[in-house]
Structure 1
Amino acid sequence: MRTYLQAFDLWEVVNSDVEPEPLRANPTVAQMKQYFEEKSKKYKAISYIQNCVSDVIFTRIMACETPKQAWYKLKEEFQGTERIRQQQLLNLRRDFENLKMKEEETVKKYSDRIMAVVNSIRLIGEQFDEARIVEKVFSTLPERYEAKISSLEDSRDLVIISLTELINALYAQEQRRASRIEEHQKGAFQAKTKGQMLVQARCCVSTLQEEGHVERACKQNGRPGQNQAQYKKAEAQVAEDSSDHEEWVFAVSCSAGQKKGTKG
């Protein structure tokens, strides 16, 4: 609201509530124009304030005759008395000092939590410089950021580093760490899947052996030794190339099913 009024050169009217000096006798056209412009600023300011608030808030300031009265009425409604403001400020300072980053929290979410408290302090009217926020972030980061902090200490002057630069540097580290974890998990999943497919393939072959299908096929061909060697070779191929496991097992199962049908 203050910025909005300043944009129209009306903040001084709200802050001082001073009436313009009355016109002297026989004023010029320029003097009359300036006088009425200055006098109308009061009505413009109170009009802007009334138009910027909700209907519920408007009922609280509609009896105010000057912009200064309306402004202080709003200030009293939303900020309370000076004693209440000081108590709020004390509580917010305590909240800021107690802030710590959680283990599962990202640096951007943590910075948002910090800025929520800082902005509340600033809205009350307390000055809060960025260097203090940067110091707070550095002092409350978990151990996993120690390497990055040391790197920043070696390459930058931490006294003048901006909050945005610090958060972006820490966020970049988080992204690299997340990528490494994802690649590791993906590799572990692929290895586990490959092992499961190999076990399934061997179990299927063992089942066929127990039912006599492979041995029967060897006896029918009259060359058991050669077929057994081919079978061992096929089993080794299953272990080597996991991409062919499903097709190989499917082929063996189908062959077994056909042999069972032929026998019947």
Structure 2
Amino acid sequence: MGMDYLLAAVLFVTLALATLLLGLVLRFGIGELCDPRLPPGWRGLPLVGETLEFFTASPTLELLPFFKRRLERYGPIFRTSLVGEDLIVSLDPELSTRVLQEEERAFQIWYPPSFMRVLGADSIITALGPLHRHIRALVLRLFGPESLRLVLLCDVQRSARAELRSWLRLPGVEVRAATSRMIFGVTAKKLISHDDTASEESLWKCFDACTRGLLAFPLCVPGTAFYRCMQGRKRVMKMLKEQLGARRNEPEREAVDFFDLVIHELDKPDTELNENTALDLLFLMLFASHETTSIGLIAILKFLTDDPKALQELTEEHENVQKRGADPDSDEITWEEYKSMKFTSHVIHEALRLANIAPVVFRKTIQDVQSRITSQSIAFVALCLLGWVIGVREAEVQAAAVLEPPTTQVGASESKQSWKIKAFGRWWNRRRGTSETQTTAQSGKDKKVRAHLLQCLPDDLLMQVAKKKTGKEVWDCLKSRFVGAECVKEARLQTLKSEFDAMKMKEEEMLDQYAGKLMGMSVRYNNLGGTLDDVAMVKKLFDTVPERFINVVARIEQFYDLKTLALEEAVGHLKVYEERTRRGAVNLKTEGGQLLLT
């Protein structure tokens, strides 16, 4: 009799589990097939979704294999399920750009719960508005243009030389770990005055575990990468909390690092920070400042290794700068010498553009989004995961094409076209064009160049170049129209000078908007062969801001040398004043929403 009851219980449990499993399969497999608003895709296994396949992807500078396979199967917009969340993935440049442009209107910043467990529940990574601007102003006080020019450049050079010398004594080097440790040494000293080489417990190892566990399956059991990640975070937060208590107990302490600035903000009576937010902020700064930089350095080394010509030109530029320096035997590079290294700047910008520093960006939708690509209303019912990759089907990374600097001064339209051609690895074909001796493969590449160019053009311009037979002919036509001969450049430059002289900041205009116009004018000058240095830009800024900034401008002119003051630093000083006056204006508002003037 007892056995019968046992068998009945086992049978009942089995049927219950089978029913539950069947319900989950139906919910994940066909629950949304009847909704025409959703793009194609598959939600994977119940509960797990497609998480396992996503996290097994190996690091790459190209489009992740997980995305590449689904791109071929479903197209550039598809749905999936990762870490227990229903997601819609966009690999379409147009839709991805729209998502970022409509942030805070149709989309908002969002990160999976597993990410927030690593970065902290009180992390400001999703903060918007006044708190975000206030934290940004704090960070710029330590990592702003003035500190970058006078302090950080020398510190990074010394650390890099010491690290490279240490490599000579080793049989082999894991470059990613070595560069990450080097950058962490610099940022940790600036942020919390921590010397990782002299400490008993390496903080860098804790953050390295966090890096490896951030994009791992979020299973927090001993032995998994995510478990080691959370243990690393726990040790870091314990050390930061102990430092916070010790520093606050000191009677008088001079501010020497970012930690001291944060404590000063915490001690203010009207502060927007609390202790947990401050500690999560320090953790985030330590994590983000070294990891993204080290990935960028690895990408630069990879691209230069694959392109001997670019490496040779880079070496020659550095040697020429060293010979022209005041002390040819010195290894130190001054800020002025760094700014004069044009080819180095091109290499850095192109490598960072292609490096997979942030392979995905998360946004959550606030409303339904109309997709012009699929001609149907896509209800982003949960989240939108942006695979921010320019190259869709043809994103082969070709270092020879990527690292070639512009050979002429180019205009805005040419810059957009070259950016797209480089992203698709077709820059050399743009220069060669076609010939009778070309192979079928070379001819096919030229057709792709021509197709990419025509795809970017508006209809009126498209009709003017549609008869051009090769990508090179289309490019030359665009270059002639938008760059023009020297006389045309000179005429356009004179027009720009007139526009620059007439520029003036409006009373209702935000400082960031006006500063963006000034910087955009500088770029347009450079594209036409002219120059607008920081001296002229700062003078223009100070002469054309509204009357409410006059007192601040007068103090800056009194205590700073305007010949060496960078535009970004000048804007930063004015921005701090603008934020203070805005907060004061908000406090003066009455309950009816009207401003009380005295």
TM-score, L = length of structure 2: 0.25
Question: Corresponding residue for 1:72?
Answer: 476
**Paired residue secondary structure (2:505):** coil
Question: Corresponding residue for 1:10?
Answer: 426
The Cα shift of 1:122 comes to 4.4
Do structure 1's residue 107 and structure 2's residue 511 form an aligned pair? Answer: yes
Counterpart amino acid of residue 41 in structure 1:
K
The Cα shift of 1:87 comes to 1.4
Counterpart amino acid of residue 7 in structure 1:
A
* Consecutive unaligned residues in structure 2, runs of 5 or more: 1-416, 591-595
- Out of 494, 497, 506, the residue aligned to residue 90 of structure 1 is 494
The Cα shift of 1:155 comes to 7.0
* Consecutive unaligned residues in structure 1, runs of 5 or more: 24-34, 187-191, 193-264
Closer/same/farther in 2, CA of residues 106 and 55 from structure 1, 3 Å limit: closer
Equivalent-residue separation in structure 2 for 1:108 and 1:15 (angstroms): 38
Counterpart amino acid of residue 73 in structure 1:
C
Say whether the 8 Å CA contact 1:2–1:11 is kept in structure 2: yes
- Higher strand proportion: 2
Equivalent-residue separation in structure 1 for 2:529 and 2:434 (angstroms): 24
After superposition, residues 1-264 of structure 1 pair within 5 angstroms as 1-17=417-433, 19=435, 37-79=441-483, 82-103=486-507, 105-124=509-528, 126=530, 128-129=532-533, 132-142=536-546, 144-149=548-553, 151-152=555-556, 161-180=565-584, 183=587
Equivalent-residue separation in structure 2 for 1:137 and 1:73 (angstroms): 37
The Cα shift of 1:140 comes to 3.4
Say whether the 8 Å CA contact 1:96–1:118 is kept in structure 2: no
The Cα shift of 1:49 comes to 0.9
The Cα shift of 1:104 comes to 5.2
Equivalent-residue separation in structure 2 for 1:127 and 1:12 (angstroms): 29
- Please tell me whether Structure 1 or Structure 2 has the larger radius of gyration of its CA atoms: 1
Closer/same/farther in 2, CA of residues 51 and 102 from structure 1, 3 Å limit: closer
Say whether the 8 Å CA contact 1:16–1:68 is kept in structure 2: yes
The Cα shift of 1:92 comes to 0.7
Equivalent-residue separation in structure 2 for 1:152 and 1:133 (angstroms): 15
Equivalent-residue separation in structure 1 for 2:573 and 2:540 (angstroms): 16
Question: Corresponding residue for 2:172?
Answer: none
Say whether the 8 Å CA contact 1:17–1:68 is kept in structure 2: yes
Closer/same/farther in 2, CA of residues 157 and 37 from structure 1, 3 Å limit: farther
The Cα shift of 1:102 comes to 4.2
Closer/same/farther in 2, CA of residues 179 and 48 from structure 1, 3 Å limit: closer
Equivalent-residue separation in structure 1 for 2:442 and 2:536 (angstroms): 42
Equivalent-residue separation in structure 2 for 1:97 and 1:8 (angstroms): 40
Say whether the 8 Å CA contact 2:434–2:446 is kept in structure 1: no
Equivalent-residue separation in structure 1 for 2:425 and 2:562 (angstroms): 39
The Cα shift of 1:93 comes to 1.3
Question: RMSD over aligned Cα, in angstroms?
Answer: 4.0
Deviations 1:50-87 (A, max 9, x none): 22223332221111122221112223444555433321
**Paired residue secondary structure (1:84):** helix
The Cα shift of 1:183 comes to 5.0
TM-score, L = length of structure 1: 0.51
